[in-house]
Amino acid sequence: MTKKKVEGAIAFADREKTFRMPLFRPGTVVMRGKSRYTVSYVMVRRGELWVYLAGKDVPVRSDSLQVEPTIFSTVRQPEPRLL
């Protein structure tokens, strides 16, 4: 497997060993329509992912939001060694 450093992240040459999916966590910036919001917290209720946005009292379904997908690797990475 070939690795190269790209803007603080590891880029994998093997696309088959990576996948992309949205990651909703506190502090993530999302788009709803033409407006930008920040995720406050998330909750799974009745099998669906609900996202609470900062400044809003009512949660929204995650599929109504747009967020840049995060790249994950299916290859196990060694734990970093602390000196």
Rounded Cα gap, residues 55 and 5, in angstroms:
37
- Specify the pLDDT at position 10: 53
Residue 46 lies in a domain: yes
**Interval 23-33: pLDDT, tens:** 899 999 999 99
Full domain range(s) for residue 16: 3-73
**Interval 36-77: pLDDT, tens:** 999 999 999 999 999 999 999 999 999 999 998 888 888 887
Residue 29 lies in a domain: yes
Residue 41 lies in a domain: yes
Residue 39 lies in a domain: yes
CATH number of the CATH domain containing 56: 2.30.30
Residue 81 lies in a domain: no
Rounded Cα gap, residues 42 and 65, in angstroms:
13
Residue 82 lies in a domain: no
